[in-house]
Amino acid sequence: MHFGFSYIGLIFLIMLFVPNFLWTRFRPKDYDRYAKNENKVLLILERVGEVLVTCLVLIFEDFNVQGIELRLIWLGAAFLLMLLYEVFWIRYFRSGHTMRDFYGSMLGIPVPGASLPVAAVLLLAVYGRNPVLFAAGIILGIGHIGIHLMHKKEARVG
């Protein structure tokens, strides 16, 4: 692992944060009713994972493209998941902004707004050969996906 700025990490964060900033203006109807019941342990794991992932993807130059090599498949797969994440947001922003719209599966992927970026981070960690980012992605996944699965269950979304 080599310290240095990662432009790939910055691209991932932009793809992650831009739709989330927009979401703050277009939250699903009744979202706050479910958010107040969030499991505190999952919330702590989510926040710790968010901070770790945000920092780690930026400070390791190993995530940058180093040349043409077979392991680029992992980076390509991570970007594909992030592109699907953007499609998820387009679908949501064009919807009626309901809990069903927010938590409905996409291509068979449950809670895609939470699952896709976490999976992308894990693949980025594999590409960059970075076990620290992988561990941070697991922490983020447990908290973030766990919270959103609970919201989905509480809202009784298919």
Res. 126: pLDDT tops 90: yes
Q: Which tokens belong to 139? A: 């922490």
pLDDT tens, position by position, 8-32: 999 999 999 999 999 999 999 888 8
Measured CA to CA, the distance from residue 100 to residue 102 in angstroms comes to: 5
Specify the pLDDT at position 37. 83
- State whether the Cα torsion 23-150-47-117 is positive or negative: negative
Q: Find out whether 17 and 74 touch, Cβ atoms under 8 Å.
A: no
Residue-averaged pLDDT of the chain = 95
For residue 104, the one-letter residue type is: G
Specify the pLDDT at position 157. 78
- State whether the Cα torsion 74-12-151-111 is positive or negative: negative
Going by pLDDT thresholds of 50, 70 and 90, the confidence category of residue 158 is low
Measured CA to CA, the distance from residue 2 to residue 14 in angstroms comes to: 22
Specify the pLDDT at position 97. 93
Q: Find out whether 134 and 78 touch, Cβ atoms under 8 Å.
A: no
